Amino acid sequence: MTPCTALRGALEVVAWWAVLFLLWLVLIGTVDTLELVVGAAAALVCAVAARGARRAVGGR
Amino acid sequence: MDDPLIVVALLLVAACATAAVAVRDPERQALVLAVLGTALAVLFTVLQAPDVGLSQLAVGSALTPLLLMLSVRKVRRRERGKGRTR
Amino acid sequence: MNGWTATATAVLALGGGATVWGVATGPLGRRVVAQNLSTSLACPVLLLLAQGYGRPSYVDLALVLALLGPVGTLVFARLLAEDLEGDPPGARAATYAVAVFGATVVIVLCAVAGPGRAMVKLLVTGALLVAGNLVASRALAGGFSGSRHG
């Protein structure tokens, strides 16, 4: 694992996280601190899962 | 207030359920059941129960047909295998 | 009863009746197409009901249906692939008609809602609805048979 691939992986996770967090922001009813914290945490988990899924499908 | 809407949704569910009973082939029955799940979700929404409609959608539109089709497939395959060995 | 629920009633009576008739009779290909169209027709109906009842949270139902309806159709397309190979169901006109109807409903509701988070949510639902409808129809017509395993 070279630093270049690690950096690319981190960038991909951040991009997924941004997209998923935006989606969460759009879909919730009221915007307050608790919702934002929960959304950020859930988006991080889903971003890591999304990168794993993309690599599993792309590496076929 | 919304009587025509309730009547239409109820009629739709009744027609769909009757069709699900009348159709004989299990694969086609799964198709009718999927439509029945959607119609039931609309009926629940019309009756102001969106939470019930939400769970009905989650179960009825994808999960029930998937389970039915998979079990029909498995039974057919087993029968075919039995016929071959006989 | 207002204009939104009246429109929903008319669509439900005409389209719902047609899809129930289509799914209960005829060859297998027509039944699968009717099942696909029933989900993509119920989604705009749920959107209209949310607007008619004045409850924006009912849009969640349409969102879930727009996501799960094509999944159900893909299940049938995958598991009935051998039976559908003989005559792949097309029904291009009906598919495009329902897709245009869904897009029209979403655009009208967006115009009513005005700019904001509600509009973005409606647009997400509409995009999922139209894209899912087209993808499911293409899968039914055998468009993805080249990438199928086994």
For B40-84, what is each residue's pLDDT tens digit? 999 999 999 999 999 999 898 888 988 998 998 889 888 888 776
Which among B22, B35, B42 is the nearest to C12, CB-wise?
Answer: B42
Q: How far is B50 from chain C (nearest CA, A)?
A: 7
% residues pLDDT > 90 (chain B): 56
Distance CA C114, CA C116 (A): 6
C114's torsion region: left (phi>0), alpha (psi -120 to 50) or beta?
A: left
Q: How many CB atoms lie within 10 A of CB C46?
A: 29
Phi, psi for residue B48 in degrees, rounded to 5: 65, 40
C117 touches chain A (CB under 8 A): yes
C140 touches chain B (CB under 8 A): no
Closest residue in A to C60 (Cα) is A27
Tell me the torsion sign for CA atoms A22, A28, A31, A33.
negative
- Residue-range domain boundaries for chain C: 3-142
Q: Give me Rg for the CA atoms of chain C.
A: 16
For tokens 């039944």, the residue is C31
Residue C139 predicted with pLDDT over 70: yes
Closest residue in B to C24 (Cα) is B19
8 Å CB contact of A26 and C63? no
Chains near C with 3+ CB pairs less than 8 A apart are A, B
With beta carbons less than 8 A apart as the criterion, state whether C38 and B38 touch: yes
Phi, psi for residue B30 in degrees, rounded to 5: -65, -40
The residues, ordered by sequence, that sit 6+ positions from B3 with a Cβ below 8 Å of its Cβ are none
* Candidates B57, B66, B70, partner chain C, best to mutate (most C CBs within 10 A): B57
How many beta-carbon pairs under 8 angstroms link B with C? 114
Q: Considering only CB atoms, which chain C residues are within 8 Å of B40?
A: none
Q: Considering only CB atoms, which chain C residues are within 8 Å of A24?
A: none
Mean pLDDT calculated for residue range C24-28: 87
How many domains in chain B? 1
Distance CA B13, CA C20 (A): 9
A25 touches chain C (CB under 8 A): yes
Angle at C144 between CA C140 and CA C149, to 5 degrees: 110
For B27-47, what is each residue's pLDDT tens digit? 889 999 999 999 999 999 999
At residue B77, the pLDDT reads 87
Name the band, by pLDDT with cuts 50, 70 and 90, for residue B85: low
Q: How many CB atoms lie within 10 A of CB C140?
A: 26
**Mean pLDDT for all residues in chain C:** 87
For A4-37, what is each residue's pLDDT tens digit? 888 888 999 999 999 999 999 888 888 889 999 9
Please report which residue ranges of C54-91 form alpha helices under DSSP H: 59-79, 81-84
At residue A60, the pLDDT reads 56
Name the band, by pLDDT with cuts 50, 70 and 90, for residue C80: confident
With beta carbons less than 8 A apart as the criterion, state whether B50 and B44 touch: yes
Higher pLDDT, C39 or A31: C39
With beta carbons less than 8 A apart as the criterion, state whether A16 and A50 touch: yes
B43 touches chain C (CB under 8 A): no
At residue B84, the pLDDT reads 65
At residue C102, the pLDDT reads 92
A1 touches chain C (CB under 8 A): no
Which among B28, B34, B39 is the nearest to C28, CB-wise?
Answer: B28
Q: Considering only CB atoms, which chain A residues are within 8 Å of C120?
A: 26
How many beta-carbon pairs under 8 angstroms link A with C? 10
The residues, ordered by sequence, that sit 6+ positions from B73 with a Cβ below 8 Å of its Cβ are C79
* Closest by Cα among C88, C96, C79 to C142: C88
Question: What residues make up the domain containing B72?
Answer: 3-85
Phi, psi for residue B23 in degrees, rounded to 5: -70, 135
At residue C150, the pLDDT reads 41
The residues, ordered by sequence, that sit 6+ positions from C17 with a Cβ below 8 Å of its Cβ are B12, B15
For C106-136, what is each residue's pLDDT tens digit? 999 999 888 888 888 999 999 999 999 989 8
With beta carbons less than 8 A apart as the criterion, state whether C97 and C42 touch: no
With touching defined as 3 or more inter-chain CB pairs under 8 Å, the answer for chains A and C is yes
Token couple for B61:
């539109």
Q: Considering only CB atoms, which chain B residues are within 8 Å of C75?
A: 62, 65-66, 69
